[in-house]
Amino acid sequence: MNNFDYLHPATADEAFDKSNTTDGAVYVAGGTNIIDLWKYDLLHPSVMIDLNGISGEKGIKENEDGSVLLSALMTNAETAYHPVIEGRYPLLSRGILAGASPQIRNMATNGGNLLQRTRCYYFYDSNSPCNKRLPGSGCPAREGYNRIHAILGASEQCIAVFPSDMCVALAALDATVHVSGLTGNRSIGFEDFHRLPGDTPEIDNNLKYGEVITGIELPAKGFAKNYAYLKLRDRHSYAFALVSVAIALELDENHITEARIALGGVAHKPWRIKEAEEMLKGKSADAASFADAADIILAGAQGFEHNHFKIELAKRAVIRCGLMALEPESQLPGAQPSL
Protein backbone atom coordinates (compact mmCIF):
# COMPACT_ATOMS: atom_id res chain seq x y z
CA MET A 1 0.00 0.00 0.00
CA ASN A 2 1.18 3.52 -0.70
CA ASN A 3 0.35 6.85 0.87
CA PHE A 4 -1.92 9.11 -1.13
CA ASP A 5 -3.48 12.54 -0.92
CA TYR A 6 -7.21 12.81 -0.40
CA LEU A 7 -9.18 15.54 -2.16
CA HIS A 8 -12.80 16.48 -1.70
CA PRO A 9 -13.69 18.81 -4.59
CA ALA A 10 -16.92 20.80 -4.47
CA THR A 11 -17.65 20.78 -8.19
CA ALA A 12 -17.37 18.29 -11.04
CA ASP A 13 -15.11 20.72 -12.95
CA GLU A 14 -12.71 20.78 -10.03
CA ALA A 15 -12.72 16.95 -9.99
CA PHE A 16 -11.99 16.71 -13.77
CA ASP A 17 -9.29 19.29 -13.44
CA LYS A 18 -7.55 17.45 -10.61
CA SER A 19 -7.86 14.09 -12.34
CA ASN A 20 -6.48 15.38 -15.64
CA THR A 21 -3.56 17.23 -14.14
CA THR A 22 -2.39 14.71 -11.53
CA ASP A 23 -0.65 11.45 -12.47
CA GLY A 24 -2.10 8.52 -10.56
CA ALA A 25 -5.30 10.34 -9.56
CA VAL A 26 -8.38 8.14 -9.09
CA TYR A 27 -11.99 8.85 -8.21
CA VAL A 28 -13.59 7.29 -5.17
CA ALA A 29 -17.32 7.19 -4.36
CA GLY A 30 -18.41 4.47 -1.87
CA GLY A 31 -14.90 3.03 -1.75
CA THR A 32 -16.12 -0.58 -1.53
CA ASN A 33 -14.10 -1.72 -4.53
CA ILE A 34 -11.38 0.82 -4.99
CA ILE A 35 -10.14 0.67 -1.39
CA ASP A 36 -9.86 -3.13 -1.77
CA LEU A 37 -7.84 -2.70 -4.97
CA TRP A 38 -5.51 -0.33 -3.12
CA LYS A 39 -5.19 -2.70 -0.14
CA TYR A 40 -4.47 -5.67 -2.44
CA ASP A 41 -1.62 -3.62 -3.89
CA LEU A 42 -3.25 -3.56 -7.33
CA LEU A 43 -3.65 0.18 -7.45
CA HIS A 44 -1.18 2.82 -6.32
CA PRO A 45 -3.05 6.10 -6.34
CA SER A 46 -1.20 9.36 -5.80
CA VAL A 47 -4.50 11.13 -5.10
CA MET A 48 -7.97 9.86 -4.29
CA ILE A 49 -10.59 12.34 -5.48
CA ASP A 50 -13.76 11.85 -3.45
CA LEU A 51 -16.76 12.56 -5.66
CA ASN A 52 -19.27 12.76 -2.82
CA GLY A 53 -18.96 16.52 -2.33
CA ILE A 54 -19.58 17.53 -5.93
CA SER A 55 -22.72 19.50 -6.57
CA GLY A 56 -25.33 18.41 -9.12
CA GLU A 57 -28.52 16.37 -9.29
CA LYS A 58 -28.81 14.09 -6.29
CA GLY A 59 -31.41 11.40 -5.74
CA ILE A 60 -34.00 10.45 -8.34
CA LYS A 61 -35.68 12.72 -10.86
CA GLU A 62 -38.81 11.76 -12.80
CA ASN A 63 -38.77 13.47 -16.21
CA GLU A 64 -41.85 14.69 -18.06
CA ASP A 65 -41.53 11.97 -20.72
CA GLY A 66 -41.77 9.33 -17.99
CA SER A 67 -38.07 8.47 -17.94
CA VAL A 68 -36.23 8.50 -14.61
CA LEU A 69 -32.75 9.78 -13.83
CA LEU A 70 -30.79 8.14 -11.01
CA SER A 71 -27.89 10.04 -9.54
CA ALA A 72 -24.57 8.22 -9.85
CA LEU A 73 -23.75 9.12 -6.26
CA MET A 74 -26.90 7.67 -4.75
CA THR A 75 -26.17 4.50 -2.86
CA ASN A 76 -27.34 1.12 -4.09
CA ALA A 77 -29.56 0.79 -0.98
CA GLU A 78 -31.18 4.22 -1.46
CA THR A 79 -31.87 3.29 -5.07
CA ALA A 80 -33.28 -0.19 -4.44
CA TYR A 81 -35.65 0.97 -1.71
CA HIS A 82 -36.74 4.21 -3.39
CA PRO A 83 -40.53 4.15 -3.97
CA VAL A 84 -40.10 5.11 -7.65
CA ILE A 85 -37.74 2.19 -8.23
CA GLU A 86 -39.72 -0.30 -6.15
CA GLY A 87 -42.93 0.80 -7.87
CA ARG A 88 -41.89 1.42 -11.48
CA TYR A 89 -38.64 -0.56 -11.90
CA PRO A 90 -38.88 -3.49 -9.46
CA LEU A 91 -36.48 -5.51 -11.65
CA LEU A 92 -33.75 -3.00 -10.86
CA SER A 93 -34.60 -3.13 -7.18
CA ARG A 94 -34.36 -6.94 -7.19
CA GLY A 95 -31.09 -6.88 -9.12
CA ILE A 96 -29.47 -4.47 -6.67
CA LEU A 97 -30.74 -6.36 -3.62
CA ALA A 98 -29.30 -9.60 -4.97
CA GLY A 99 -25.82 -8.07 -4.71
CA ALA A 100 -23.31 -7.87 -1.86
CA SER A 101 -24.75 -7.35 1.65
CA PRO A 102 -26.87 -4.61 3.29
CA GLN A 103 -23.74 -2.97 4.74
CA ILE A 104 -22.01 -2.82 1.34
CA ARG A 105 -25.15 -1.66 -0.44
CA ASN A 106 -25.36 1.20 2.07
CA MET A 107 -21.91 2.43 0.97
CA ALA A 108 -21.76 1.35 -2.69
CA THR A 109 -22.92 3.93 -5.22
CA ASN A 110 -24.63 3.48 -8.56
CA GLY A 111 -21.72 4.93 -10.54
CA GLY A 112 -19.20 2.75 -8.68
CA ASN A 113 -21.28 -0.35 -9.30
CA LEU A 114 -20.90 0.14 -13.07
CA LEU A 115 -17.13 0.46 -12.70
CA GLN A 116 -16.36 -2.32 -10.24
CA ARG A 117 -13.62 -4.62 -11.45
CA THR A 118 -13.74 -8.34 -12.15
CA ARG A 119 -13.48 -10.83 -9.30
CA CYS A 120 -11.12 -13.15 -11.21
CA TYR A 121 -8.88 -14.71 -8.52
CA TYR A 122 -5.74 -14.19 -10.59
CA PHE A 123 -6.52 -10.52 -11.10
CA TYR A 124 -6.56 -10.00 -7.32
CA ASP A 125 -3.29 -11.87 -6.78
CA SER A 126 -0.57 -9.32 -7.44
CA ASN A 127 2.02 -12.14 -7.71
CA SER A 128 0.19 -13.74 -10.60
CA PRO A 129 0.42 -12.76 -14.27
CA CYS A 130 -2.80 -11.25 -15.58
CA ASN A 131 -3.41 -9.47 -18.88
CA LYS A 132 -6.09 -7.29 -17.33
CA ARG A 133 -3.73 -6.05 -14.62
CA LEU A 134 -0.50 -6.13 -16.60
CA PRO A 135 -1.12 -6.31 -20.39
CA GLY A 136 1.02 -8.94 -22.10
CA SER A 137 1.78 -10.91 -18.93
CA GLY A 138 -0.62 -13.77 -19.73
CA CYS A 139 -3.90 -15.25 -18.57
CA PRO A 140 -3.43 -18.07 -16.06
CA ALA A 141 -7.20 -18.49 -15.76
CA ARG A 142 -7.42 -20.15 -19.20
CA GLU A 143 -5.50 -23.21 -18.04
CA GLY A 144 -5.99 -22.74 -14.30
CA TYR A 145 -8.98 -22.71 -11.99
CA ASN A 146 -11.70 -21.07 -14.05
CA ARG A 147 -14.90 -22.01 -12.26
CA ILE A 148 -16.29 -18.46 -12.13
CA HIS A 149 -15.12 -17.42 -15.58
CA ALA A 150 -16.79 -16.55 -18.89
CA ILE A 151 -18.63 -18.91 -21.21
CA LEU A 152 -19.52 -16.19 -23.72
CA GLY A 153 -17.57 -13.42 -25.44
CA ALA A 154 -14.18 -14.37 -23.95
CA SER A 155 -10.91 -13.85 -25.81
CA GLU A 156 -7.48 -15.46 -25.91
CA GLN A 157 -6.34 -12.62 -23.69
CA CYS A 158 -8.94 -12.76 -20.93
CA ILE A 159 -11.87 -14.92 -19.81
CA ALA A 160 -12.99 -12.80 -16.86
CA VAL A 161 -16.60 -11.91 -16.14
CA PHE A 162 -18.07 -8.61 -15.05
CA PRO A 163 -19.54 -9.25 -11.60
CA SER A 164 -22.32 -6.67 -11.17
CA ASP A 165 -25.94 -7.62 -10.50
CA MET A 166 -27.33 -4.11 -10.84
CA CYS A 167 -25.91 -3.85 -14.35
CA VAL A 168 -27.72 -6.99 -15.52
CA ALA A 169 -31.04 -5.38 -14.63
CA LEU A 170 -29.93 -2.07 -16.20
CA ALA A 171 -29.02 -3.89 -19.43
CA ALA A 172 -32.47 -5.51 -19.57
CA LEU A 173 -34.13 -2.15 -18.92
CA ASP A 174 -32.17 -0.45 -21.73
CA ALA A 175 -30.67 2.18 -19.43
CA THR A 176 -28.46 5.03 -20.62
CA VAL A 177 -25.35 6.20 -18.77
CA HIS A 178 -24.75 9.96 -18.56
CA VAL A 179 -21.13 11.02 -18.26
CA SER A 180 -19.31 14.29 -17.99
CA GLY A 181 -15.71 15.27 -18.60
CA LEU A 182 -13.42 18.10 -19.54
CA THR A 183 -14.74 18.02 -23.10
CA GLY A 184 -18.41 18.12 -22.07
CA ASN A 185 -21.32 15.77 -21.46
CA ARG A 186 -22.33 12.65 -23.37
CA SER A 187 -24.65 9.66 -23.05
CA ILE A 188 -23.76 6.01 -23.62
CA GLY A 189 -26.39 3.32 -24.24
CA PHE A 190 -25.99 0.54 -21.71
CA GLU A 191 -25.03 -2.13 -24.25
CA ASP A 192 -22.13 0.06 -25.38
CA PHE A 193 -20.93 0.98 -21.91
CA HIS A 194 -19.03 -2.20 -20.99
CA ARG A 195 -16.66 -3.96 -23.40
CA LEU A 196 -15.68 -7.48 -24.35
CA PRO A 197 -12.01 -8.21 -23.54
CA GLY A 198 -10.66 -8.71 -27.08
CA ASP A 199 -6.98 -7.75 -27.26
CA THR A 200 -7.32 -5.02 -24.61
CA PRO A 201 -8.72 -6.73 -21.51
CA GLU A 202 -7.25 -4.02 -19.31
CA ILE A 203 -10.05 -1.72 -20.54
CA ASP A 204 -13.37 -2.63 -18.95
CA ASN A 205 -15.64 0.02 -20.45
CA ASN A 206 -15.91 2.92 -22.87
CA LEU A 207 -15.49 5.71 -20.36
CA LYS A 208 -12.73 8.14 -21.34
CA TYR A 209 -9.94 9.05 -18.97
CA GLY A 210 -11.12 11.53 -16.34
CA GLU A 211 -14.83 11.23 -17.18
CA VAL A 212 -17.29 11.01 -14.32
CA ILE A 213 -20.57 9.12 -14.42
CA THR A 214 -23.20 11.63 -13.40
CA GLY A 215 -26.40 9.65 -13.79
CA ILE A 216 -28.21 6.60 -15.12
CA GLU A 217 -31.38 7.12 -17.09
CA LEU A 218 -34.17 4.55 -17.16
CA PRO A 219 -36.65 4.67 -20.06
CA ALA A 220 -40.30 5.22 -19.16
CA LYS A 221 -41.13 1.55 -19.65
CA GLY A 222 -40.22 -0.23 -16.42
CA PHE A 223 -41.82 -3.69 -16.93
CA ALA A 224 -43.29 -3.48 -13.43
CA LYS A 225 -45.79 -6.30 -13.94
CA ASN A 226 -43.82 -9.24 -15.28
CA TYR A 227 -40.17 -9.36 -14.33
CA ALA A 228 -37.71 -11.49 -12.36
CA TYR A 229 -34.08 -11.50 -11.31
CA LEU A 230 -32.56 -14.86 -10.51
CA LYS A 231 -29.05 -15.11 -9.11
CA LEU A 232 -27.38 -18.50 -8.74
CA ARG A 233 -24.33 -18.53 -6.48
CA ASP A 234 -22.43 -20.69 -4.03
CA ARG A 235 -23.96 -19.09 -0.93
CA HIS A 236 -26.62 -16.51 -0.26
CA SER A 237 -24.47 -13.72 1.16
CA TYR A 238 -21.27 -12.05 -0.03
CA ALA A 239 -21.21 -14.20 -3.15
CA PHE A 240 -21.03 -13.07 -6.73
CA ALA A 241 -23.21 -14.73 -9.36
CA LEU A 242 -22.14 -17.91 -11.07
CA VAL A 243 -24.99 -17.13 -13.39
CA SER A 244 -27.70 -14.51 -13.06
CA VAL A 245 -30.65 -13.67 -15.26
CA ALA A 246 -32.87 -10.59 -15.54
CA ILE A 247 -36.09 -11.04 -17.47
CA ALA A 248 -38.74 -8.43 -18.25
CA LEU A 249 -41.86 -9.35 -20.19
CA GLU A 250 -44.92 -7.71 -21.59
CA LEU A 251 -47.81 -10.12 -21.98
CA ASP A 252 -51.11 -10.22 -23.79
CA GLU A 253 -52.96 -12.92 -21.90
CA ASN A 254 -50.47 -15.78 -22.08
CA HIS A 255 -48.60 -14.49 -25.13
CA ILE A 256 -45.37 -12.53 -25.06
CA THR A 257 -45.51 -9.16 -26.81
CA GLU A 258 -42.12 -7.92 -25.62
CA ALA A 259 -39.21 -9.66 -23.93
CA ARG A 260 -35.90 -8.58 -22.45
CA ILE A 261 -33.35 -11.08 -21.22
CA ALA A 262 -29.91 -10.22 -19.83
CA LEU A 263 -27.43 -12.59 -18.23
CA GLY A 264 -24.74 -11.90 -15.65
CA GLY A 265 -21.74 -13.93 -14.54
CA VAL A 266 -21.23 -15.35 -18.02
CA ALA A 267 -19.27 -12.70 -19.91
CA HIS A 268 -17.10 -9.60 -19.62
CA LYS A 269 -20.29 -7.52 -19.78
CA PRO A 270 -24.01 -8.07 -19.17
CA TRP A 271 -25.03 -10.42 -21.99
CA ARG A 272 -28.07 -9.73 -24.16
CA ILE A 273 -28.97 -11.41 -27.46
CA LYS A 274 -31.77 -9.48 -29.12
CA GLU A 275 -32.48 -12.32 -31.59
CA ALA A 276 -33.77 -14.40 -28.66
CA GLU A 277 -36.00 -11.54 -27.50
CA GLU A 278 -37.41 -11.09 -31.03
CA MET A 279 -38.04 -14.83 -31.32
CA LEU A 280 -40.17 -14.74 -28.17
CA LYS A 281 -42.59 -12.16 -29.57
CA GLY A 282 -45.97 -13.80 -30.15
CA LYS A 283 -44.92 -17.04 -28.42
CA SER A 284 -46.68 -18.55 -25.41
CA ALA A 285 -45.13 -17.57 -22.13
CA ASP A 286 -44.11 -21.06 -21.07
CA ALA A 287 -41.09 -23.21 -20.35
CA ALA A 288 -40.76 -24.40 -23.96
CA SER A 289 -40.51 -20.84 -25.31
CA PHE A 290 -37.99 -19.82 -22.64
CA ALA A 291 -35.98 -22.96 -23.43
CA ASP A 292 -35.87 -21.97 -27.11
CA ALA A 293 -34.69 -18.48 -26.10
CA ALA A 294 -32.03 -19.99 -23.85
CA ASP A 295 -30.73 -22.11 -26.74
CA ILE A 296 -30.31 -18.99 -28.88
CA ILE A 297 -28.63 -17.03 -26.07
CA LEU A 298 -26.18 -19.82 -25.24
CA ALA A 299 -25.57 -20.92 -28.85
CA GLY A 300 -21.95 -19.74 -28.93
CA ALA A 301 -21.12 -20.67 -25.33
CA GLN A 302 -17.76 -22.27 -24.68
CA GLY A 303 -16.75 -23.65 -21.31
CA PHE A 304 -13.27 -24.15 -19.88
CA GLU A 305 -12.07 -27.02 -17.72
CA HIS A 306 -13.93 -26.02 -14.55
CA ASN A 307 -16.91 -24.04 -15.77
CA HIS A 308 -18.66 -26.18 -18.41
CA PHE A 309 -21.48 -26.57 -15.91
CA LYS A 310 -22.38 -22.90 -16.40
CA ILE A 311 -23.75 -23.54 -19.89
CA GLU A 312 -26.48 -25.90 -18.70
CA LEU A 313 -26.95 -23.83 -15.53
CA ALA A 314 -27.53 -20.69 -17.60
CA LYS A 315 -30.07 -22.45 -19.85
CA ARG A 316 -32.03 -23.70 -16.86
CA ALA A 317 -31.78 -20.31 -15.17
CA VAL A 318 -33.31 -18.59 -18.21
CA ILE A 319 -36.26 -21.02 -18.17
CA ARG A 320 -36.79 -20.71 -14.45
CA CYS A 321 -36.42 -16.93 -14.43
CA GLY A 322 -38.92 -16.69 -17.32
CA LEU A 323 -41.45 -18.67 -15.30
CA MET A 324 -40.76 -16.52 -12.24
CA ALA A 325 -41.47 -13.42 -14.33
CA LEU A 326 -45.01 -14.67 -14.85
CA GLU A 327 -45.51 -14.45 -11.09
CA PRO A 328 -42.97 -11.93 -9.77
CA GLU A 329 -44.30 -12.04 -6.24
CA SER A 330 -43.69 -15.77 -5.98
CA GLN A 331 -40.14 -14.98 -4.70
CA LEU A 332 -38.74 -18.41 -5.43
CA PRO A 333 -35.40 -19.23 -3.76
CA GLY A 334 -32.66 -17.30 -5.52
CA ALA A 335 -34.77 -14.16 -5.80
CA GLN A 336 -34.59 -13.07 -2.16
CA PRO A 337 -32.44 -10.06 -1.12
CA SER A 338 -28.85 -11.00 -0.36
CA LEU A 339 -28.09 -10.93 3.38
- The correct pick among 29, 69, 108, 141 for binding ligand SF4 (CB under 6 A) is 141
- The correct pick among 38, 162, 240, 304 for binding ligand FAD (CB under 6 A) is 240
- The correct pick among 97, 130, 177, 245 for binding ligand SF4 (CB under 6 A) is 130
For the CB of residue 103, give the shortest distance to ligand SF4 in the complex, in Å: 26
Given ligand SF4, ligand FAD, none, residue 165, with its beta carbon under 5 to 8 Å by kind, binds: ligand FAD
For residue 103, count CB atoms less than 10 angstroms from its CB and return exposed for 0-12, middle for 13-18, buried for 19 or more. Answer: exposed
Helix (H, G, I), strand (E, B) or coil at 177: strand
For the CB of residue 252, give the shortest distance to ligand FAD in the complex, in Å: 33
- The correct pick among 31, 56, 135, 140 for binding ligand SF4 (CB under 6 A) is 140
d(CA 188, CA 179): 8
Residue numbers 315-334 binding ligand FAD by CB under 6 A: none
Q: Does 9 bind ligand FAD (CB under 6 A)?
A: no
For the CB of residue 308, give the shortest distance to ligand SF4 in the complex, in Å: 16
- Residue with smaller CB distance to ligand SF4, 90 or 197: 197
- Dihedrals phi, psi of 123, to nearest 5 degrees: -60, -40
C-beta nearest to ligand FAD: residue:
112
Residue numbers 84-123 binding ligand SF4 by CB under 6 A: 118, 120, 122-123
Query: What mask, x for binding ligand FAD by CB under 6 A, covers residues 145 to 174?
Result: ------------------xxxx--------
Site for ligand FAD, rule CB under 6 A: 26-34, 36, 51, 72, 76, 99-100, 104, 107-109, 111-113, 115-116, 163-166, 212-213, 238, 240
